[in-house]
Structure 1
């Protein structure tokens, strides 16, 4: 019997929200690509210890609708179509503990730029620009991602400098 895919994308049309789950490293690599350059306010993150859950809401750049061939530029595609961001809920289940590096959790106005998400040896690492990381100690990999609400236009497309910093997060 063939392995049933755990990653599910409902709809490829522009008006359909992203809704995926990840239970292995291959799934998580796809989720990480969708969430690259999401902006995450520290105020929109929470570790729910009683529920063994870590949650956050991010402003996700909608890479899947960015015009093909658009290269690292800052403005919308050549056809004048604006880029889009959407609020996205991200949930990790089975979280035993959360550690942070380079993040002032008391600074509720701080906004982080998510670069990647990786899983290895029972840990999920959320890596942000500026050498900041959130490490989740998990029982197993269980991540759920779902777009919330209506996307909004932006003329800025995230780009990465050689030093790993980003700009154009609006």
Structure 2
């Protein structure tokens, strides 16, 4: 009997973030995740923002494999959401996530979570406190290439 394929036996990633340092680790795993605009949802009654994404598995890349995995990310205690440069009228539009950051507010633990995408798009979450969870939802699948960036294009993404 042959050993199971690495895509089958690979553990599901499950991470939580309660501070900026936690969020930076979560962000590293989500770098270059692809998502469709229709996979974004703000649930104001639950104070939750959710997104589904196809994340590039950077740990597998270190081992010589190019793979993606379907994942879900959600933020709790969200008071308000602002979309900057996200074409919400195009639900099949694709966004590439570059980074997720937290900026403390005037009255801790409140603050702002910023999801920054290639091409200058961003989503700003006004939160009572930082609480986020990332979870893989299923098996990995092989992809043909590793994500790359035109640094000139993305230079204005954080402003």
Q: What is the TM-score normalised by the length of structure 1?
A: 0.79
1:92 paired residue among 70, 75, 80? 75
User: Structure 1 unaligned runs (5+)?
Assistant: 1-13, 69-76, 166-170
Cα deviations by residue, 1:2-58 (Å, 9 ceiling, x for unpaired): xxxxxxxxxxxx610110000000000101110000001101110001100000000
Please provide the CA RMSD for this pair: 1.5
Number of aligned positions between the proteins: 141
1:162 CA drift (Å): 2.7
SS state of the match for residue 119, structure 2? coil
Q: What residue in structure 2 maps to residue 101 of structure 1?
A: 84
Gaps of 5+ in 2: 1-8, 106-110, 155-159
Q: CA separation in 1, counterparts of 2:42 and 2:68?
A: 24
**Does residue 139 in structure 1 map to residue 128 in structure 2?**
yes
Per-residue CA shift, 1:72-123, capped at 9, x if unaligned?
A: xxxxx4xxxx411011000000000100101111110101000000001210
TM norm structure 2 = 0.85
Counterpart among 143, 148, 153 of residue 137 in structure 2: 148
Higher normalized helix content (fraction of residues): 2
Distance between the aligned counterparts of 2:123 and 2:151, measured in 1? 23
Q: Distance in 1 between matches of 2:95 and 2:151?
A: 19
Give the drift of 1:129: 0.4
